[in-house]
């Protein structure tokens, strides 16, 4: 209930009686700290109160009854007391000595304005006045949000009277309070009083329905849950004041679908919106989902005065493992060929009423007995949930012809409390094994034998035989070679005896780590035939059958003895103990070897060769050296090293001349070679100079030919036809023969024949640069073309450019000049040169 209280100035202990007496016996509360309500309904001021306006609105709440009293109840009484609405926030006091003493500004209590007021507007709220207005003219103004800040002009004030108005209806949900400041200035704008804070509160009305956060809520609860099990929470918000009944929301369940096994399976907490189970009997296998309509009502759930809204709660009954899996039959059977793996022998079908493809439904199969060696496993088909009995370890018909398995099925998730396994969760599986033709096999594979290399051809090494596992089949096994890289071995086709077909050499490239490896095939005569392979490894023991060799084969040394020596080493294809230490020595024949050379052993594998004499002529010498290994018996070899003896520089390196001399050439031959090299270089230099000079002359030469290069008497064939005389712009004067050169030079311009080089100034043709730039070639050609086009002396002088010349004037043409052209043009002169007509 809202009360409009009116008072004059301030009041303390002021009582408004008989306002709420008809609610005797209940407890009341107000939304103001300045006023309280007694149990008899009397409203009184709790302390000294300065009334901001002639009306003050209070909200009174009745707590001991089920309804809330609000402004929307027209039958409730209200109090409106007319009073003086003037506020004097700037109160002046005069002291005894006549001086004015400024006291502290008053704190103006909040001004309460109900929302959604219908006016009329502007509606006066309060009048603000300074007691100085008796002395001077004062203008009042307000500032703040709602006055001069957005939203603008919600409140206004009469600058002369100080009356403050609200200009339009208020909406508490848009803005619940306003903070303004009141100002008092004189006519010149000078501050008369300090600004006063005004607080305006918008009183809430129940004008908003509760709104659910979601229109559809999804929750779940396990089947078989006990009453009181939490399911979900729905929430609705009311934009009205939550401290009043306008914003206090209460919940209730309107309907439940389906109403099985009870129409009230769930209940809701009216204040929190928590939905819990209220009855037992939830069974997912019967009802998988419930649809519950929930209603939210404000005014603390009062359906007569409150506003309501609804939402849908979808409650899914989740599955628990309360149904054990059961085999559809008690026995299963299957068949598998021997020696096959990853073969499905039998499919085991089960039934489970729990939710498909969940841990409560997914089956796990185990073999309890009948397979001690682990030949089988049972895998679960993820789609059908069937158990696939699969062979993971090959079975042998000769060992087991049948298997009797006992299997058990369970779920991934354990059974719910109180649920026992069914006797139908176990079954028997009979598996028969069929016989197939198995391949022979070599019992010892890989087989290793040891023997010395070099055994003679035809030596029996071993017998490499295979075993046929088919004991119940009478079959013959035959042998053949599958891989023999060096073709050293033979095998007996019937008994598998291995003999040598060639001498086995440990130093062969086919030997890896002293082992030779060959593969053999054993095949039976079954249907279809089967075969197996076996590998024979032969470890060859080394014998001393390779003499040592010396390295390097070539070397060089200075012609005079110094620190320059030749280091040599021995290499032996055999292995220990048939290798070093080696013995190095020089042969006694020829005698010059020991006379000129000496050899010094450094260790078991290395030695040094050096000059014995003080000087040895440059050249290439073959130095024989005998090297002997430590085998039993030892082997030796005489190796020849080609040693180049040459003159050396101070660093002990062979000079260029010395290297040539060491190649076996005498001093005369060396000098002749050097002279030839010098002559060849001179010729190359002269040729380069000549080419340079010719290039320079070619660049300085005119673009066109000189007169002495004239080739007028040559007959040139141009297998090409032009576009006709009309397409060619030629000077016809070039065809006329001048009588004398002076006459030519002095003759007026006209048609004339020129077959000799005219005398006159020649234009300057461009000179091509010695080192042309790629872009200069085109410029050079264009400049030469322009010079040739403007050169009257340019050949060919006797070129007949045009053939339709008719003479200088009509009727005066004469061709007598053809007689002057010589014997080559005699026939032409006879035809056109003034002779008698036929």
| CA 748 – CA 181 distance, rounded (Å) | 116
Instruction: Answer yes or no: is 266 within a domain.
Output: yes
User: Angle 239-242-246 (CA atoms, 0-180°, nearest 5)?
Assistant: 75
Q: pLDDT tens digit string along 598-632?
A: 888 888 888 888 888 888 888 888 888 888 888 88
Instruction: Answer yes or no: is 87 within a domain.
Output: no
Tell me the Cα Rg of the chain: 65
pLDDT of residue 216: 96
Higher-pLDDT residue of 465, 652 = 465
- Verdict on whether the full-model pTM lies above 0.75: no
pLDDT of residue 751: 44
Instruction: Answer yes or no: is 439 within a domain.
Output: no
How many distinct structural domains can be found in the chain? 6
* Pair (218, 186) in one structural domain: no
pLDDT of residue 661: 52
pLDDT of residue 746: 52
pLDDT of 86 higher than 90: no
* Pair (428, 330) in one structural domain: yes
Contact (CB, 8 A) for 452 and 540: yes
* Pair (227, 300) in one structural domain: yes
Least confident range from 103-107, 202-206, 306-310: namely: 103-107
pLDDT of residue 344: 94
pLDDT of residue 282: 92
For residues 258-285, one letter each, b for 16 or more C-beta atoms within 10 angstroms of the residue's C-beta and e for the rest, the string is: eeeeeeebbbbeeeebebbbeeeebebe
Give the residue-averaged pLDDT of 320-343: 91
Percent share of the chain, pLDDT over 90: 34
Contact (CB, 8 A) for 327 and 429: no
DSSP code string of 781-795: HHHHHHHHHT-TTPS
**Secondary structure of 230-272 in the HEC alphabet?**
EEEECCEECCCCCCCHHHCCEEEEEEEECCCCCCCCEEECCCC
pLDDT of residue 745: 47
The span from the first CA to the last CA of the chain, in angstroms, equals 151
* Pair (419, 355) in one structural domain: yes
pLDDT band at 729 (very low <50, low <70, confident <90, very high): low
CATH of the domain at 394: 2.60.40.60
* Pair (218, 189) in one structural domain: no
Q: Among 507, 524, 541, which residue terminates a domain?
A: 541
Higher-pLDDT residue of 231, 793 = 231
Q: Among 594, 612, 646, which residue terminates a domain?
A: 646
Higher-pLDDT residue of 104, 482 = 482
DSSP 8-state class, residue 399: T
648 three-class SS: strand
Structure token pair of residue 342: 């990853």
CB-CB neighbours of 683 under 10 Å: 10
Pairing of strands 636-646, 619-628: antiparallel
pLDDT of residue 81: 30
pLDDT band at 17 (very low <50, low <70, confident <90, very high): very low
**Cα–Cα separations (whole angstroms), residue 161 to 87, 141, 156, 165, 825:** 12, 10, 12, 12, 136
* Pair (430, 488) in one structural domain: no
DSSP 8-state class, residue 689: H
CB-CB neighbours of 638 under 10 Å: 12
Residue 370 class from Cβ within 10 Å (0-12 exposed, 13-18 middle, 19+ buried)?
Answer: middle
| CA 672 – CA 675 distance, rounded (Å) | 5
* Pair (415, 339) in one structural domain: yes
DSSP 8-state class, residue 711: -
pLDDT of residue 747: 47
Element (H, E) at 577: none
Q: pLDDT tens digit string along 752-808?
A: 444 555 555 555 666 656 555 556 677 778 887 777 777 766 665 544 555 554 555
pLDDT of residue 752: 45
Element (H, E) at 662: helix 656-662
Give the residue-averaged pLDDT of 351-376: 92
Contact (CB, 8 A) for 315 and 287: no
pLDDT of residue 119: 84
DSSP code string of 22-38: GGTTS-EEES-SSEEE-
Q: pLDDT tens digit string along 651-664?
A: 767 776 555 555 55
Contact (CB, 8 A) for 324 and 415: yes
For residues 63-78, one letter each, b for 16 or more C-beta atoms within 10 angstroms of the residue's C-beta and e for the rest, the string is: eeeeebbbbeeeebee
Q: Among 590, 624, 646, which residue terminates a domain?
A: 646
* Pair (311, 398) in one structural domain: no
Instruction: Answer yes or no: is 89 within a domain.
Output: no
Instruction: Answer yes or no: is 419 within a domain.
Output: yes
Higher-pLDDT residue of 317, 722 = 317
Give the residue-averaged pLDDT of 349-353: 93
Instruction: Answer yes or no: is 689 within a domain.
Output: no
pLDDT of residue 155: 95
Higher-pLDDT residue of 131, 306 = 306
Contact (CB, 8 A) for 617 and 645: yes
**Range(s) of the domain holding residue 465:** 447-541
Give the residue-averaged pLDDT of 708-723: 53
* Pair (429, 496) in one structural domain: no
Q: pLDDT tens digit string along 28-70?
A: 777 776 777 776 667 777 776 766 555 566 777 666 443 333 3
pLDDT band at 825 (very low <50, low <70, confident <90, very high): confident
Structure token pair of residue 422: 């069914």
* Pair (392, 483) in one structural domain: no
* Pair (523, 494) in one structural domain: yes
Q: pLDDT tens digit string along 189-201?
A: 899 989 999 999 9
Q: What is the mean pLDDT of the chain?
A: 79
Contact (CB, 8 A) for 327 and 350: yes
Backbone angles phi, psi at 120, to 5 degrees: -75, 155
* Pair (536, 562) in one structural domain: no
For 775: left if phi > 0, alpha if psi spans -120 to 50, otherwise beta; the answer is alpha
pLDDT of residue 80: 31
CB-CB neighbours of 471 under 10 Å: 10
Least confident range from 225-239, 272-286, 399-413, 802-816: namely: 802-816
Least confident range from 233-237, 456-460, 753-757: namely: 753-757
pLDDT of residue 9: 39
**Secondary structure of 605-626 in the HEC alphabet?**
CEEEEEECCCCCCCEEEEEEEE
DSSP code string of 281-324: ---TTT--EEEEEEEEESGGG-TTTS-EEEEEEEEEEE--S-S-
Instruction: Answer yes or no: is 487 within a domain.
Output: yes
Instruction: Answer yes or no: is 81 within a domain.
Output: no
Torsion, Cα 381 387 392 395, to 10 degrees, reads -150
| CA 213 – CA 344 distance, rounded (Å) | 55
């Amino acid at each position: 209930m809202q009360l409009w209280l009116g008072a004059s100035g301030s009041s303390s202990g002021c009582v408004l009686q008989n306002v709420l007496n008809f609610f005797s016996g209940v407890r009341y509360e107000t939304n103001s700290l300045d006023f309280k309500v007694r149990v008899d309904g009397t409203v009184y001021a709790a302390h000294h109160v300065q009334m901001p306006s002639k009306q003050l609105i209070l909200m009174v709440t009745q707590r001991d009854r089920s309804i809330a009293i609000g402004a929307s109840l027209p039958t409730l009484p209200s109090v409106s007391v007319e009073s003086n609405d003037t506020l004097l926030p700037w109160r002046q006091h005069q002291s005894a000595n006549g001086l004015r003493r400024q006291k502290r500004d008053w704190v103006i209590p909040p001004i309460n304005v109900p929302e959604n007021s219908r006016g009329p507007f502007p509606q006066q709220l309060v009048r603000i006045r300074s007691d100085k207005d008796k002395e001077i003219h004062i203008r009042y103004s307000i500032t703040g949000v709602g006055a001069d800040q957005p939203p603008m002009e919600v409140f206004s004030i009469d600058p002369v009277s100080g009356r403050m108005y609200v200009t339009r209806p208020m909406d508490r949900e848009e803005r619940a309070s306003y903070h303004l400041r009141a100002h008092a200035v004189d006519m010149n704008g000078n501050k008369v009083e300090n600004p006063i804070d005004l607080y305006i509160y918008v009183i809430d009305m129940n004008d908003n329905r509760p709104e659910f956060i979601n229109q559809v809520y999804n929750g779940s609860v396990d089947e078989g849950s006990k009453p009181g099990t939490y399911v979900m929470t729905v929430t609705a918000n009311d934009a009205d004041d939550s401290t009043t009944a306008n914003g206090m929301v209460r919940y209730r369940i309107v309907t439940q679908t389906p109403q099985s096994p009870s129409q009230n399976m769930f209940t809701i907490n009216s204040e929190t919106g928590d939905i819990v189970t209220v009855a037992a009997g939830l069974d997912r296998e019967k009802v998988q989902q419930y649809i519950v309509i929930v209603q939210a009502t404000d005014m603390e759930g009062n359906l007569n005065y409150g506003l309501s809204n609804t939402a849908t709660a979808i409650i899914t009954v989740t599955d628990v493992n309360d149904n054990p899996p059961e085999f559809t039959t008690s026995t299963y059977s299957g068949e598998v060929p021997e020696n096959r793996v990853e073969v499905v022998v039998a499919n085991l079908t089960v039934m489970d009423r729990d939710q498909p493809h969940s841990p409560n439904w997914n089956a796990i199969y185990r073999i309890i007995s009948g397979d001690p060696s682990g030949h089988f496993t049972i895998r679960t088909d993820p789609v059908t949930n069937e158990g696939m009995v699969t062979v993971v370890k090959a079975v042998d018909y000769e060992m087991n012809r049948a298997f009797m398995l006992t299997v058990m099925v369970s779920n991934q998730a354990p059974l719910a409390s109180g649920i026992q396994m069914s006797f139908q969760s176990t079954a028997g599986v009979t598996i028969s094994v069929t016989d197939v033709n198995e391949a022979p096999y070599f019992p010892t594979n890989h087989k290793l034998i040891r023997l010395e290399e070099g055994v003679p051809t035809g030596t029996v090494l071993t017998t490499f035989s295979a075993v046929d596992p088919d004991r119940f089949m009478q079959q013959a096994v035959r042998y053949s070679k599958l891989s023999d890289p060096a073709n050293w071995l033979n095998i007996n086709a019937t008994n598998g005896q291995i003999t040598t077909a060639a001498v086995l050499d440990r130093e062969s490239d086919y030997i890896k780590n002293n082992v030779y490896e060959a593969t053999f095939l054993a095949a039976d005569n079954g249907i279809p035939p089967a075969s197996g392979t076996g590998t024979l490894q032969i470890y060859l023991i080394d014998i001393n059958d390779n003499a040592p060799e010396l390295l390097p084969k070539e070397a060089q040394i200075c012609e005079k003895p110094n620190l320059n020596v030749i280091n040599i080493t021995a290499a032996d294809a055999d292995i220990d103990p048939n290798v070093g230490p080696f013995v190095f020595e020089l042969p006694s024949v020829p005698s010059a070897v020991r006379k000129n050379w000496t050899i010094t052993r450094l260790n078991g594998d290395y030695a040094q060769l050096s000059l014995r004499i003080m000087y040895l002529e440059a050249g290439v010498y073959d130095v024989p050296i005998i090297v002997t290994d430590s085998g039993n018996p030892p082997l030796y070899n005489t190796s020849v090293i080609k040693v180049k003896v040459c003159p050396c520089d101070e660093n002990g390196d062979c000079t260029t001349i010395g290297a040539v001399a060491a190649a076996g050439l005498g001093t005369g031959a060396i000098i002749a070679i050097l002279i030839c090299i010098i002559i060849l270089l001179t010729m190359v230099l002269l040729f380069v100079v000549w080419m340079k000079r010719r290039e320079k002359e070619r660049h300085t030469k005119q673009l066109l030919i000189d007169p002495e290069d004239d080739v007028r008497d040559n007959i040139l064939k141009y297998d090409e036809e032009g576009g006709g005389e009309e397409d060619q712009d030629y000077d016809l004067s070039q065809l006329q023969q001048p009588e004398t050169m002076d006459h030519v030079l002095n003759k007026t311009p006209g048609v004339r024949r020129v077959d000799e080089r005219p005398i006159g100034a020649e234009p300057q043709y461009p000179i091509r640069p010695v080192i042309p730039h790629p872009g200069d070639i085109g410029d050079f050609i264009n400049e030469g073309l322009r010079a040739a086009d403007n050169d009257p002396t340019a050949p060919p002088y006797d070129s007949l450019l045009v053939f339709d010349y008719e003479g200088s004037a009509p009727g005066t043409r004469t061709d007598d000049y053809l007689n002057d052209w010589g014997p080559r043009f005699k026939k032409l002169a006879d035809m056109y040169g003034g002779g008698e007509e036929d």
